[in-house]
Amino acid sequence: MATGTEYDDVYRRSLHDPEGFWAAAATGIHWDRPWDDVLDRTSAPFYRWFAGGQMNTCYNALDRHVDAGRADQTALIYDSPVAGTSAAYTYRELRDAVATFAGALHAQGVRRGDRVVIYLPMVPEAAIAMLACARIGAVHSVVFGGFAASELAKRIADARPVVVVSASCGIEPNRIVEYKPLLDAAIEQVEVKPRRCIILQRPQLTAELHQPRDISWLDAIAGVPPADCVPVEATDPLYILYTSGTTGQPKGIVRDNGGHAVALHWSMRHVYGVEPGEVFWTASDVGWVVGHSYIVYAPLLAGCTTVLYEGKPVGTPDAGAFWRVIAEHGVRVMFTAPTAFRAIRQQDPDGTHITRHNPSTLRALFLAGERCDPETLRWAEEKLAVPVIDHWWQTETGWAIVATCLGIEHTPVVPGSPGRPVPGWDVRVLDDRGADLPAGQTGALVVRLPMPPGAAPTLWNADERFRETYLSAFPGYYQTADAGYVDDDGYVFVMARTDDIINVAGHRLSTGAIEEVLAQHPDVAECAVIGAADDLKGQLPVGLMVLKAGVDRPDQEIVAEAVQLVRDRIGAVAAFKTAAVVARLPKTRSGKILRATMRKIADGREYTTPPTIDDPAILDEISGSLRKAGYPAAPR
């Protein structure tokens, strides 16, 4: 068993001399101009890494490797069981495709600092569009294709893109999802409209283009000169990624160029233990931060081969889909969400598909996006016979806060814990007053400022909201909004959220945003949404609705309408399928709805009647309603 000595030395150095530590890491990146300050503290708590330095993320991800002799190495493998196709790009081919599309964006008026919204399925063009923006210094904002028009409209309204890049459709296992009508509806809802929409026409469906605004991808790239890389400031934004906000208004997480490139390049070797030339596969979506960091940027920055997979863990065609991809493409390290493995285990508990495909090239499996239950981790370890490593990070952090760092030292994996803090991350556990808690005691999980490179420096055009959301509760610390504890050996245990963001299959969703939609139903007087535990997806939203007086319609009709309303306004990604009509909601005397108590009831956990409740009898009513909706009533 490892002693942890090497890890301890690296971790201690990263906290005691962060400037020296990250300056050394930054030598792995090409700089057009060296930085003036490794860490600019002048506007604390808004810290900036590598201030004064200039570089280009696309050059570091593509051109640098071509120039260094990796031109003929495979950079990207596209594997799509839903489309029945696959493709591979060498570093030279991917660089050329990106340079051409960057030229197309430039021809449509996109310049350094302009925004481009990307609303694409999991196709190579998604990565090409992202890298093309980085090439010319534009700021991309990728929106997951499963979002409804209203959610897409919020993001377009906030980012104000010059161009939107989209596709005619996405492909699900049993249906074609038309993207163009959703995009058209979203643009109708915004005041400042994009100048141009570039549409990738897929063979499964041809979208109607509205001239002169719309142009096809092929027409956009026809005859344009390729664009060169534009040096940008290290502190310039690379992208905006919107995540759920507690008010229903999405937060635009900003990622800078320099710190992001340094951190992700460093993480590939030190966290994931991957060397240049090896195949790395993240089974996620480019609409989420995991897809940004570990499908597109980190593997290419490190000179690896990345796999872009358009499919599901089960159903495309069966529970052996992941093992086929690993075996066919020689994947060495894989990264996905625990939800995927729960789905695979549910359909293939004995792991028969694993032996059929023989994914023997796999060296390690990483899981993140939600808390991994120990049973799922043990099952994966037993069936795959490789290290299975849960690790913890967030959209805001951009890469792992806590992990077992394979490239430093393979310390023991502790089921239920994502590991120990990654070098650069000073993780603390605080009580409500901001005092440090001893080992084993649960409190608010926070990170001492400054956070390392790669973490979000702010929100898009919302510095004060960034300060209020993340930095105000515990001055001097980043508030993760997770609760947990650290044991005597330094292992971190993440136990629960401390706000109303729930985690559905690795997708962070705001219950407040869903409540806002339910409240728009004409028959609903008030409502509450809680995240109930689910064996497959981690959590699922459950709605409780109080109807207006005088409503005389069957409850099931109203519930069906409410479910459809959420699907229309937020999208299928919310996985909102369960709601119940109740006579009233449990509240404190001051009017606060007791969501935490209802969550315990739905999860079948023991609860104590809060002393501030206005009427204790209402909890029995809620318990009965949740039982009818399929959730167990908890003992007191």
Please state, in angstroms and rounded to a whole number, the distance separating the CA atoms of residues 454 and 423: 13
Q: For residue 360, is it within any domain?
A: no
User: Pick from 449, 480, 511: which residue ends a domain?
Assistant: 480
442 & 512 share domain: no
Q: For residue 490, is it within any domain?
A: no
112 & 218 share domain: yes
Structure tokens at 589: 């005397």
585 & 457 share domain: no
CATH of the domain at 520: 3.30.300.30
Output the DSSP codes for 247-272: TSSPEEEEEESHHHHHHHHHHHHHTS
> Of 507, 628, 496, which is closest to residue 575 (Cα–Cα)?
507
Structure tokens at 477: 């610390």
CA 138 to chain centre: 21
Half-sphere exposure of 549 (CA within 13 A, CB side): 0
The pLDDT of residue 476: 97
591 & 469 share domain: no
472 & 575 share domain: no
Contact indicator for 147, 246 with CB cutoff of 8 Å? no
Q: For residue 13, is it within any domain?
A: yes
22-67 per-position pLDDT tens digit: 999 999 999 999 999 999 999 999 999 999 999 999 999 999 999 9
CATH of the domain at 123: 3.40.50.12780
* 93-102, 243-252, 294-303, 572-581: segment of lowest average pLDDT: 243-252
**Residue 471 backbone dihedrals phi, psi, to 5 degrees:** -120, -10
Q: For residue 588, is it within any domain?
A: yes
User: Pick from 480, 512, 531: which residue ends a domain?
Assistant: 480
**Residue 238 backbone dihedrals phi, psi, to 5 degrees:** -90, -45
Instruction: Give the total number of structural domains in the chain.
Output: 2
CA distances from 207 to 179, 180, 182 (A): 8, 6, 11
56-69 per-position pLDDT tens digit: 999 999 999 999 99
Domain of residue 538 covers 503-628
575 & 440 share domain: no
Residue ranges with strand state E in 147-236: 163-167, 169-172, 175-178, 196-200, 214-216, 232-233
496-544 per-position pLDDT tens digit: 676 666 777 777 676 777 887 898 899 988 888 988 888 888 888 999 9
409 & 459 share domain: yes
465 & 535 share domain: no
475 & 623 share domain: no
The pLDDT of residue 520: 86
Q: What angle do CA 75, 79, 80 make, to 5 degrees?
A: 145
Alpha helix (H) residue ranges in 80-236 = 91-107, 124-136, 149-159, 180-189, 217-221
Q: For residue 618, is it within any domain?
A: yes
Q: Residue 484 is inside which H or E element, if any?
A: strand 477-486
Contact indicator for 342, 376 with CB cutoff of 8 Å? yes
Contact indicator for 126, 213 with CB cutoff of 8 Å? no
Please state, in angstroms and rounded to a whole number, the distance separating the CA atoms of residues 566 and 580: 14
Structure tokens at 369: 């996006």
Structure tokens at 352: 């028969």
599-610 per-position pLDDT tens digit: 889 888 888 787
Q: For residue 20, is it within any domain?
A: yes
> 3-state DSSP call for residue 104?
helix
Q: For residue 370, is it within any domain?
A: no
291 & 424 share domain: yes
pTM of the model: 0.85
509 & 467 share domain: no
Is the pLDDT at 278 greater than 80? The verdict is yes
Q: For residue 131, is it within any domain?
A: yes
206 & 271 share domain: yes
**Residue 575 backbone dihedrals phi, psi, to 5 degrees:** 50, 40
